[in-house]
Amino acid sequence: MMRIPIEDSFEDVLRKAAVGQRLGHGALSIRSGLSLKEVRALLAGEFNEAQLRKLALVLKLDPEKLVALARGDWYPEAVELEGLKCICMPFPEASYPDASTNCFVAYDVSSGDALVFDTGTRAEPVLDFIRAQKLHLQAVFLTHAHRDHIGGLSALAAAAPAGQVYAPANEPVADTRLLEPEAELCIGKFQIKAVETNGHSRGALSYIVNGLGRQVAFVGDSIFCLSMGGTKQGYQLALNNNRNKLLTLSPDTVLCPGHGPMTTVGEELSHNPFF
- What per-residue confidence (pLDDT) applies to 99? 81
Q: What is the per-residue DSSP string for 175-192?
A: TSEEE-TT-EEEETTEEE
pLDDT, tens only, 155-181: 999 999 989 999 999 999 999 999 999
Measured distance CA(145)–CA(246) in Å, rounded: 20
pLDDT, tens only, 184-203: 999 999 999 999 999 999 99
Sign of the CA dihedral with 118 first, then 124, 128, and 134 last: positive
Q: List, by residue range, all CATH 3.60.15.10 domains of the chain.
A: 84-271
Measured distance CA(133)–CA(147) in Å, rounded: 27
Measured distance CA(166)–CA(117) in Å, rounded: 10
Which residues have a Cβ under 8 Å from the Cβ of 233 and sit 6 or more positions away? none
- Flag whether pLDDT at 95 surpasses 80: no
Q: Are 43 and 6 in contact (CB under 8 A)?
A: no
Q: Taking the chain, what is the end-to-end CA distance rounded to the nearest angstrom?
A: 29
Ramachandran bin of 67, using left for φ above 0, alpha for ψ from -120 to 50, beta for the remaining angles: alpha
Among residues 80, 88, 83, the alpha carbon closest in space to that of 264 is found at: 80
Q: Are 248 and 242 in contact (CB under 8 A)?
A: no
- What per-residue confidence (pLDDT) applies to 262? 98
Phi (first) and psi of residue 146, to 5 degrees? -65, 145
- What per-residue confidence (pLDDT) applies to 48? 98
- What per-residue confidence (pLDDT) applies to 1? 57
Radius of gyration of the chain (CA): 19
- pLDDT band with cut points at 50, 70 and 90 for residue 94: low
Among residues 199, 247, 182, the alpha carbon closest in space to that of 16 is found at: 199
pLDDT, tens only, 211-266: 999 999 999 999 999 999 999 889 999 999 999 999 999 999 999 999 999 999 99
Q: List, by residue range, all CATH 1.10.260 domains of the chain.
A: 10-71
Could you tell me which residues are beta bridge partners of residue 218? 207, 256
pLDDT, tens only, 3-47: 899 999 999 999 999 999 999 999 999 999 999 999 999 999 999
Helix (DSSP H) and strand (DSSP E) numbers for the chain: 10, 12
Q: Which CATH number fits domain 10-71: 3.90.25, 1.25.10, 2.40.50, 1.10.260?
A: 1.10.260
Between 98 and 4, name the one with better pLDDT: 4
- What per-residue confidence (pLDDT) applies to 129? 98
Ramachandran bin of 92, using left for φ above 0, alpha for ψ from -120 to 50, beta for the remaining angles: beta
Phi (first) and psi of residue 127, to 5 degrees? -65, -35
- Give me the mean pLDDT over the 39-65 stretch: 98
**Per-residue CA distances from 47 to 55, 71, 87, 101, 275 (Å):** 12, 9, 32, 27, 21
- What per-residue confidence (pLDDT) applies to 138? 98
Which residues have a Cβ under 8 Å from the Cβ of 273 and sit 6 or more positions away? 10, 13, 56, 61, 62, 65, 66, 69, 226, 227
Q: Which fold has domain 84-271?
A: Metallo-beta-lactamase; Chain A (3.60.15)
- Flag whether pLDDT at 92 surpasses 80: no
Measured distance CA(72)–CA(254) in Å, rounded: 22
